[in-house]
DNA sequence: TAATTTACTTAGTAGCAACAAA
DNA sequence: TTTGTTGCTACTAAGTAAATTA
């Protein structure tokens, strides 16, 4: 049996003082191999065959069959034989599970626990309508009904305001009408019937007719070509794309595919809101102890720096250097301020603190009034109407100027992020929609596009790195985002059918004579086993972080006989530290890849993400490196929930869920910095526990006395205590014990999770249908797991069949 | 084929509001 | 009522990956 893996420990350079490896919660780092149930192998194989017959989908040959013998020889082995490590925890449990019958209904997994099979009442469905993103017509709809236009609002329960009525017609597109990928979320085959029902509100013919009207009598295809008129250069490409998807126009009911081609037919929005202009405060900073006069522009930059005086950035010379270089440009060469060391920003800092304090001290009414005023100003920017559906816009506020807060050792940290003007911004909007008024008088947008093959509403070039683009997108609750979210999970589910073959293939590749093939095999293994990111190439003007393909020799240390010690900075400069036993062939391969290289050389010198992904695509259609993360995260959740959910009340089941969530977060190395108050909180808990232990001791003494018929001892302050009978004392002792235990658990859990971020995986990696179906099966209110935003984001998953398994 | 551009997803955190405990 | 804690949201940086260009 492989030794348990160490959890990646936790130390970002930026925060190194705050974080330390919490635990070595060993078992948790094991590779989620739940797919490896021997029993499901056969099932999966039959699935592949069924799918191909049913869908006439030749696709890429499922990698499940790299060759007949390889399949026989590999798949027949328990997965543990091929992945002796990393499976430590889950593997052993799975070993007991190998009794499933071959299931002829491909997408309906069988359950060991027959209770699980019982679909709960559909009360759940109705519950989902309380979520922020209901499929029901909202008040807004009702109001608009008389004007044929019906806008379905997606993504918020907040009050509506009017978006200017447009010449185009509005129709409903419920989120449940997401494009089916052939892997229905409804194993029962009743895939998303709701959409049709709801569309009944508006007869198809009517919709089509309206669309035609809105299209100014253009035939749909013509119209699309017209809408897609970004630039002459692009017309050919776009037309091709459009042709591919043009059959959508047969019925407006079919939402445009999100994968490629057309994303929308009509798009209306009001542009963006800009931050208010800078307000000169006149507080003078000191230079060599003397107050300095600054122009508003100079003062603005000084203030940006001053408000960061209490951040970690002040300990970063690069931050200060970059700031000073940019500030100097504003100050001018001859300015009295010549170096940062002689600057004293505290007067501005203190002024800012006072302003914050003032704000805090405002009465509730004042705060409310300000909030309402802000809402009033922003309301019109908050929404877009996409194909007649009112959708929330994600980031409708233009980013304000400030100092760049790059993470880790970012070479550009501290640089001045200049103010974005309308003339920096390109707007994307429907051809027939009114072009948003530029909110700053006398200025105008950089460009207006009408590109319906993209989902962004606007963009500007990042002032820090002009090659980078900042986009304005719809919110996560929007239909468009929901659709691609669902597609993401469907792709990950598809990997389930191929994973055995892929694993067999890369295992073969470990000993390939072709070095590129060998590196691809080992890299894929690491991505699968350790959930590493792909690792794109990075520029020199970014923080020096790596992913799998960009690992350096110094990041992976072989520890004989067959372990690897990983230590590198990944995304966001979060440190990944892990020591893991690997297959001997992998160990040997890594040694070979390292030989003759220096520490800073690429470990996989024959490899980059495009080569890797090109290879993965040969194994499964659409497969890329990141799919493994989604797959391993979701299958781990599904597996852990099914194994660990026992009886008990909802609260106990929520604990099971959180435990599974935590395992996934650890696998994905999702970290957070330890909160400033963490140690104080632990200290306080310890004090309380000690106090309770004291009480317990007294009670026990009293019990002994009470049994002898003696009165209790006096209190610590000398006062007499109430005389209780032994039974009452026993009850009290039990209560106190329970309290102590609860606090101990609380403390343990707090300590355990202090560096683990649970939210990231919930938002991005865990198929919400697993959660929703589990909640339905076990009568756990979904609100216990998903907050309001997640309910809105995952609206598309709410009607999943309770029997759904990933 | 490599480099660049484009479009999108994934990520941690600051700040604040809601809630709980004292 | 005050203070501490928790959880949510907005924010924006930093990834992935495909398409396009040189």
Read off the pLDDT of residues A663-678 as tens digits, 9 standing for 90 and up. 999 999 999 999 888 8
What's the DSSP call for residue A268?
Answer: E
Report pLDDT for A686.
Answer: 84
Any idea which of A68-72, A329-333, A431-435, A754-758 has the lowest mean pLDDT? A68-72
Report, as residue numbers or ranges, the catalytic residues of A.
Answer: 765
Provide the CATH topology of domain A266-449.
DNA Topoisomerase I; domain 2 (2.170.11)
Report the distance from CA of residue A614 to the C1' of nucleotide B9 in Å, as an integer. Answer: 20
pLDDT-derived band of residue A713, with 50, 70 and 90 as boundaries? confident
Report pLDDT for A95.
Answer: 26
SS3 content of chain A, % helix, strand, coil (to 5): 50, 10, 45
Any idea which of A54-63, A101-110, A454-463, A790-799 has the lowest mean pLDDT? A101-110
Mean pLDDT, rounded, of chain A: 73
Give per-residue pLDDT as tens, A640-655.
999 999 988 888 899 9
What is the rounded distance in angstroms from the CA atom of residue A156 to the CA atom of residue A138?
A: 10
Report pLDDT for A139.
Answer: 29
Query: Residue A413: which nucleotide is closest by CA–C1'?
Result: C13
Query: Residue A451: which nucleotide is closest by CA–C1'?
Result: B7
What's the DSSP call for residue A84?
Answer: -
Report the distance from CA of residue A362 to the C1' of nucleotide C17 in Å, as an integer. Answer: 48
Query: Residue A230: which nucleotide is closest by CA–C1'?
Result: B6
Architecture (CATH level 2) of domain A636-797: Orthogonal Bundle (1.10)
Closest C-alpha among A805, A681, A687, A699 to residue A753: A681
Report pLDDT for A157.
Answer: 37
Give per-residue pLDDT as tens, A328-358.
999 999 999 999 999 999 999 999 998 888 8
Report pLDDT for A675.
Answer: 86
Residue A209 clears pLDDT 90, i.e. is over it: no
What's the DSSP call for residue A459?
Answer: E
pLDDT-derived band of residue A717, with 50, 70 and 90 as boundaries? low
Any idea which of A114-118, A303-307, A721-725 has the lowest mean pLDDT? A114-118
Burial code of A108-126, b = ≥16 C-beta within 10 A, e = fewer?
bbbeeeeebeeeeeeebee
Residue A192 clears pLDDT 50, i.e. is over it: no
Report pLDDT for A32.
Answer: 32
Query: Residue A258: which nucleotide is closest by CA–C1'?
Result: B8
Residue A469 is inside which H or E element, if any?
strand A469-472
Closest C-alpha among A717, A687, A712, A710 to residue A698: A712
Report the distance from CA of residue A469 to the C1' of nucleotide B7 in Å, as an integer. Answer: 9
Strand B positions within 7 A of protein Cβ atoms? 4-14, 16-17, 22
Report the distance from CA of residue A676 to the C1' of nucleotide B14 in Å, as an integer. Answer: 13
Q: For chain A, which residues make up each domain, given as ranges? A: 133-248, 266-449, 636-797
Report the distance from CA of residue A405 to the C1' of nucleotide B14 in Å, as an integer. Answer: 12
- Are A641 and A112 in contact by the 8 Å Cβ rule? The answer is no
Distance of alpha carbon A98 from its chain centroid, rounded? 33
What is the rounded distance in angstroms from the CA atom of residue A645 to the CA atom of residue A634?
A: 16
What is the rounded distance in angstroms from the CA atom of residue A635 to the CA atom of residue A30?
A: 13
- Are A28 and A662 in contact by the 8 Å Cβ rule? The answer is yes
Report the distance from CA of residue A356 to the C1' of nucleotide B15 in Å, as an integer. Answer: 11
- Are A340 and A325 in contact by the 8 Å Cβ rule? The answer is no
Query: Residue A755: which nucleotide is closest by CA–C1'?
Result: B12
Query: Residue A234: which nucleotide is closest by CA–C1'?
Result: C20
Phi, psi (rounded to 5 degrees) for A467: -70, -25
In this predicted model, which residue has the larger pLDDT, A460 or A713?
A460
pLDDT-derived band of residue A258, with 50, 70 and 90 as boundaries? very low
Report pLDDT for A151.
Answer: 60
Report the distance from CA of residue A43 to the C1' of nucleotide C6 in Å, as an integer. Answer: 44
């Amino acid at each position: 049996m492989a030794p348990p893996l160490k959890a990646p420990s936790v130390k970002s350079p930026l925060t190194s003082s705050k974080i330390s490896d919490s635990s070595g919660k060993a078992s948790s780092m094991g590779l989620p191999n739940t797919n490896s149930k021997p029993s499901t192998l056969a099932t999966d194989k039959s699935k592949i065959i069924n799918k191909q017959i049913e869908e006439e989908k030749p696709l890429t040959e499922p990698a499940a069959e790299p060759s007949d013998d390889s399949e026989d020889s590999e798949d027949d082995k328990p997965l543990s034989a091929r992945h002796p490590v990393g499976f430590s925890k889950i593997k052993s449990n799975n070993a007991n599970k190998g009794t499933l019958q071959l299931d002829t209904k491909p997408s309906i997994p069988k359950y060991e626990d027959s209770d699980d099979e019982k679909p709960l009442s559909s009360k759940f469905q109705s519950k989902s309508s309380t979520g922020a993103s209901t499929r029901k017509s909202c008040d807004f709809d009702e109001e608009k009904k008389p004007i044929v236009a019906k806008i379905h609002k997606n993504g918020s329960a907040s009050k509506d305001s009017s978006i200017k009525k447009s010449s185009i017609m509005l129709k409903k597109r419920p989120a449940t009408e997401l494009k089916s990928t052939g892997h229905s979320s409804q194993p029962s085959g009743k895939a998303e019937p709701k959409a049709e029902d709801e569309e009944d509100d508006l007869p198809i013919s009517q919709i089509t007719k309206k669309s035609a009207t809105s299209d100014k009598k253009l035939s749909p295809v013509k119209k699309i070509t017209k809408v897609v008129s970004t630039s002459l250069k692009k017309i050919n490409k776009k037309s091709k794309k459009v042709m591919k998807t043009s059959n959508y126009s047969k019925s407006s009911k079919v939402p445009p595919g999100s994968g490629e081609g057309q994303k929308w037919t009509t798009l209306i929005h009001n542009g963006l809101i800009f931050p208010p202009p800078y307000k000169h405060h006149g507080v003078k900073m000191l230079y060599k102890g003397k107050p300095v006069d600054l122009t508003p522009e100079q003062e603005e930059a000084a203030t940006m720096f001053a408000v960061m005086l209490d951040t970690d950035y002040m300990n970063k010379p690069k931050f200060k250097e970059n700031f000073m270089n940019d500030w100097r440009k504003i100050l001018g060469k001859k300015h009295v301020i010549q170096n940062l060391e002689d600057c004293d920003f505290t007067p501005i800092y203190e002024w800012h603190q006072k302003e914050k304090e003032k704000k805090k001290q405002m009465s509730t009414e004042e705060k409310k009034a300000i909030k309402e005023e802000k809402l009033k100003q922003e309301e019109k920017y908050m929404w877009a109407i996409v194909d007649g559906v009112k959708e929330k816009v994600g980031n409708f506020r233009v980013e304000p100027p400030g100092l760049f807060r790059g993470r880790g050792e970012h070479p550009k940290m501290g640089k001045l992020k200049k103010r974005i003007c309308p003339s920096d911004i390109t707007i994307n909007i429907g051809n027939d929609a009114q072009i948003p008024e530029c909110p700053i008088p006398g200025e105008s947008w950089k460009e207006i596009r009408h590109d319906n093959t993209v989902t962004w509403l606007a963009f500007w070039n990042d002032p820090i790195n002009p090659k980078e683009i900042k986009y304005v997108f719809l919110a996560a609750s929007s239909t468009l985002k929901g659709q691609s979210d669902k597609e993401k999970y469907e792709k990950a589910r598809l990997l389930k059918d191929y994973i055995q073959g892929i694993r067999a293939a890369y295992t073969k590749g470990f000993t390939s004579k072709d070095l590129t093939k060998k590196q691809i095999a080992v890299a894929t293994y690491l991505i699968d086993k350790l959930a590493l990111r792909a690792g794109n190439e990075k520029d020199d003007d970014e923080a020096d972080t790596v992913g799998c393909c960009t690992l350096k020799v110094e990041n992976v240390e072989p520890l004989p006989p067959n372990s690897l010690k990983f230590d590198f900075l990944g995304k966001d400069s979060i440190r990944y530290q892990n020591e893991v036993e690997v297959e001997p062939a992998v160990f040997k391969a890594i040694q070979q890849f390292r030989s003759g290289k220096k520490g800073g050389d690429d470990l996989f010198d024959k490899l980059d993400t495009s080569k890797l992904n090109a290879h993965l695509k040969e194994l499964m259609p659409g497969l890329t490196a990141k799919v493994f993360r989604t797959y391993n995260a979701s299958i781990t959740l599904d597996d852990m929930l099914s194994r660990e959910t026992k009886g008990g009340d909802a609260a106990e089941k929520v604990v099971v869920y959180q435990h599974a969530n935590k395992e996934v977060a650890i696998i994905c190395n999702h970290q957070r910095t330890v909160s400033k108050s963490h140690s104080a909180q632990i200290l306080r808990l310890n004090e309380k526990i000690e106090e309770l232990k004291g009480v317990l001791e007294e009670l026990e003494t009293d019990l002994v006395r009470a049994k002898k018929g003696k009165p209790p001892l006096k209190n610590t302050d000398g006062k007499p205590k109430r005389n209780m009978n032994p039974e009452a004392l026993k009850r009290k002792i039990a209560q106190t014990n329970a309290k102590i235990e609860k606090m101990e658990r609380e403390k343990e859990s707090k300590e355990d999770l202090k560096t683990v971020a649970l939210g990231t995986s919930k938002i991005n990696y865990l198929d919400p249908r697993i959660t929703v179906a589990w909640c339905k099966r076990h009568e756990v209110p979904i609100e216990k797991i998903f907050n309001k935003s997640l309910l809105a984001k995952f609206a598309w998953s709410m009607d999943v069949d309770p029997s759904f398994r990933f």
